[in-house]
Amino acid sequence: MYANPNSIINPSLWPNGPAPGCFFNFPGNGVTPSTSNGGIITRTQSPVTTGTSILGIIFDGGVMLAGDMLGSYGSMAKFRSIERIIKVNNSTVLGATGDIADFQHLQAIIEQKVIDEDCADDGFTLKPKALHTWLTRVLYNRRSKFDPLWNTFLVAGIEDGEPYLGCVDKIGTAFSDSKIATGYGAHIALPLMREALEKKPQMTKEEARALLINCLRVLFYRDCRALNKHQIATITNEGVTIENNIQLDTNWEVANFVVGYE
Amino acid sequence: MSSIGTGYDLSASQFSPDGRVFQVEYAMKAVENSGTAVALRGKDGVVFAVEKLVTSKLYEAGANRRIFNIDTHIGMAVAGLLADSRQIVETARTEASNYRAEYGGNIPVKYLADRVAMYKHAYTLYSAVRPFGCSVALGSYDEIDGPQLYMVDPSGVSFGYLGCAMGKARQAAKTEMEKLKLKDMTCLELIKEAAKIIYIVHDEVKDKHFELELSWVGATTQGRHQKVSQEVFAEVERYAKSALEDDSDSGNDDM
């Protein structure tokens, strides 16, 4: 029935089965998947243009998000005016770490969601927690198909008069807290934010801003994929303000004392 | 006025011997039975005013609105069968959404009017469906093209207008509109005139109670279509009611 180099193997034992020493294509797959995987289709990607940390903190009367404006192309600082923090509506703001293309794809979908809501004109607008839950569902379902959106999102806003800050990552892990940082910020900036919040749990807007700027400075010193130009978003009961293109003051004098890395 | 189309009026896929499609004409009759809607285009925007007839005092105020938002920058006022017009609204919203997904921006209202017209026309070609019993007026404003107003009727024909009226008192409304120099009027002036026209053409005898719906899109709203604010609405209503009392052209005077 089929040409089998090994004539000692009884053909009736496995007709059309794998022949030793030959490549075998499993039946029932229209597309030829990678045989090294045993034929299971996986599309888990590696991100291309990425954004680094986003920091978020709840202060007395609102929430503040900060993040730099860099889209890194691997180790190259390629796009230096990317807005990684966007306004969703008058009570919600979204920040993203990770693949910028995936973020922009979701951004277009969220923009249309907001327009559809406007059209309905029934007095209801998307609240931060609702956006957070929706994102969690989308990301979890994508990961379950082995085709994730390679991002970590921070959702910030005012939910029923109270400040809200939530985080979802690419595998769908979701939580909310009064201080969150994604990417390298979780390792470098979050301890600084925790310390400050322990000393003064109800910070003022100015104190929160100073804290975030300080954390961004430390991140610029220590994170190789960071930039010294960033955005700060403030959400209070009065509304949303996003300031762009804020430059950072840095002091590299200490670099003169570094020895041994020449 | 209307001729009997016996035998040639059973489906939209039939012509009559004198070349008419009666189903489409009957659909236009449905539009003529509804409350009047007017739309005016001026120097820096488009305004909509609708006479929403309220048949029972038991209805909640503000229910069954006849002016809709299509995307953020286009307003649509409807006349005719409200349920039919709701489907047109959904179709228009989907078209605007698809345009945004493909081209990344606001759909031009001329293009949307064409798409809506094509859609309504499609329903006049087959016996399996009936034409839409509604006319819609679409209006928008942007910095480059200025204000634009289009109306699509049940036959799927669309025109651009400086001022248009649909519904039971549209002839009277058109007469009032022709007295105005629409091209030079601002949105605030237009909305007052539009409300006045509705009050003038409203038939107190046949249709007792009505709710006035007003909306606009223009430079004053930064290109966003929205209902008129409470203060503006109150001011405009006052103007319209007082103008009705002392307006000697209202036709209520003895000759």
**pLDDT tens digits along A109-137:** 999 999 999 888 888 999 999 999 999 99
**Which residue is listed with tokens 């189309």?**
B5
Answer yes or no: are the C-beta atoms of A115 and A105 closer than 8 Å: no
Q: For residues A87-97, give the mean pLDDT.
A: 97
**A108, A111, A119 member nearest B93 (Cβ):** A119
The pLDDT assigned to B255 comes to 46
Mutate to test the interface with B, among A111, A113, A114, A119 (most CBs of B within 10 A): A119
Region B142-156 average pLDDT:
95
For chain B, the average pLDDT equals 92
pTM: 0.85
pLDDT on residue A86: 98
Residues 158-177 of B with CB under 8 A from A: none
Quote the pLDDT of residue A99: 97
Residues A241, A91 contacting (CB under 8 angstroms): no
Q: CB of A112 within 8 Å of any CB in chain B? A: yes
Question: What pLDDT sits at residue B206?
Answer: 85
Pairs of residues, one from chain A and one from chain B, whose beta carbons lie less than 8 Å apart? 22
Nearest-angstrom CA–CA distance, B117 and B138:
11
Residue B125 is predicted with a pLDDT of 94
Task: Quote the minimal CA–CA distance from A232 to chain B in Å.
Answer: 26
Q: What confidence score (pLDDT) does residue A18 get?
A: 77
Q: Do B93 and A116 touch (CB under 8 A)?
A: yes
DSSP annotation of A24: -
CB-CB neighbors (< 8 A) of A119 in chain B? 68-71, 93
Rounded CA separation B70/B86 (Å)? 11
The residue type of A98 is G
pLDDT at A208: 97
The pLDDT > 70 percentage for chain B reads 95
Share of chain A above pLDDT 70, in %: 87
- On whether any CB of chain B is under 8 Å from the CB of A119, the answer is yes
Helix/strand/coil (H, E, C) string of B23-64? Answer: HHHHHHHHHHCCCCEEEEECCCEEEEEEEEECCCCCCCCCCC
For the stretch B47-60, pLDDT in tens is 999 999 998 889 99
pLDDT band at residue B180 using 50, 70 and 90 as cut-offs: very high
Please indicate if any CB of chain A lies within 8 Å of the CB of B100: yes
A90 reaches B (C-beta below 8 A): no
Residue B1 pLDDT grade (very low, low, confident, very high; cuts 50, 70, 90): very low
Residues of B in contact with A112 (CB under 8 A): 97, 100-101
pLDDT at A262 over 90: no
Q: What is the mean pLDDT of residues A236-256?
A: 94
Q: Which residue of A has its CA nearest to B98?
A: A112
First to last CA, chain B: 28
Contact flag B69-A118 (C-beta cutoff 8 Å): yes
Residue B146 has pLDDT above 50, yes or no: yes
- pLDDT higher than threshold 80 for residue B106: yes
By the CB < 8 Å criterion, does A123 face chain B? no
Residue whose pair of structure tokens reads 């048949």 in the numeric block: B55
Residue A21 has pLDDT above 90, yes or no: no
Q: Which residues pair with A179 in a beta bridge?
A: A57
On chain B, the residues whose CB falls within 8 A of the CB of A105 are: none
Q: Does B140 touch chain A (CB under 8 A)?
A: no
Cβ atoms of B38 and B177 closer than 8 Å: yes
Would the pLDDT of A166 be above 50?
Answer: yes
Q: Flag whether pLDDT at B248 surpasses 80.
A: no
- The C-alpha of A123 sits at a distance from chain B's nearest C-alpha, in angstroms, of 12
Q: Is B193 on the interface with A (CB under 8 A)?
A: no
Q: Listing from the earlier edge strand, what are the strands of the sheet with B67-70?
A: B67-70, B74-80, B134-142, B146-152, B158-160
What single DSSP character describes residue B107? P
Q: How far is A104 from chain B (nearest CA, A)?
A: 12
Whether the per-residue pLDDT at A96 is higher than 50: the answer is yes
pLDDT higher than 80, residue A19: no
Q: Do A119 and B101 touch (CB under 8 A)?
A: no
Which residue in chain A has the smallest CA separation from B75?
Answer: A119
Question: How high does pLDDT run on average in chain A?
Answer: 90
Which residues of chain A have a CB within 8 Å of the CB of B106? none
Mutate to test the interface with A, among B74, B76, B93 (most CBs of A within 10 A): B93
pLDDT(A195) > 60: yes
b/e burial code for range A7-45 (CB count within 10 A of at least 16 → b): eeeeeeeeeeeeeeeeeeeeeeeeeeeeeeeeeeeeeee
More confident residue, B248 or B109: B109
Q: Does A105 touch chain B (CB under 8 A)?
A: no
Per-residue pLDDT at B45 exceeds 90: yes
Q: Collect all residues with Cβ–Cβ distance below 8 Å to B50 and sequence separation of at least 6.
A: B35, B36, B37, B38, B66, B67, B77, B79, B198, B212, B213, B214
Report chain A's C-alpha Rg in angstroms.
25
Given A108, A115, A121, which is nearest B71 (Cβ)? A115
Which are the contacts of A200, defined by CB distance < 8 A and separation ≥ 6?
A207
Examine the pLDDT at A219 and tell me if it is beyond 60: yes
Q: Is B103 helix (H, G, I), strand (E, B) or coil?
A: helix
ipTM of the modeled complex = 0.85
Q: Regarding predicted confidence, which is higher, A36 or A91?
A: A91
Contact B101/A121, CB-based, under 8 Å? Answer: no
* Neighbour tally for B242: CB within 10 Å: 12
Phi-psi region of B6 (alpha: psi -120 to 50; beta: other; left: phi over 0): beta
Of A112, A106, A88, A94, nearest to A54 by C-alpha is A94
In this predicted structure, the answer to whether residue A1 has a pLDDT above a threshold of 60 is: no
Establish whether A173 is a catalytic residue.
no
User: What confidence tens digit (pLDDT) does each residue in B204-213 have?
Assistant: 888 888 999 9
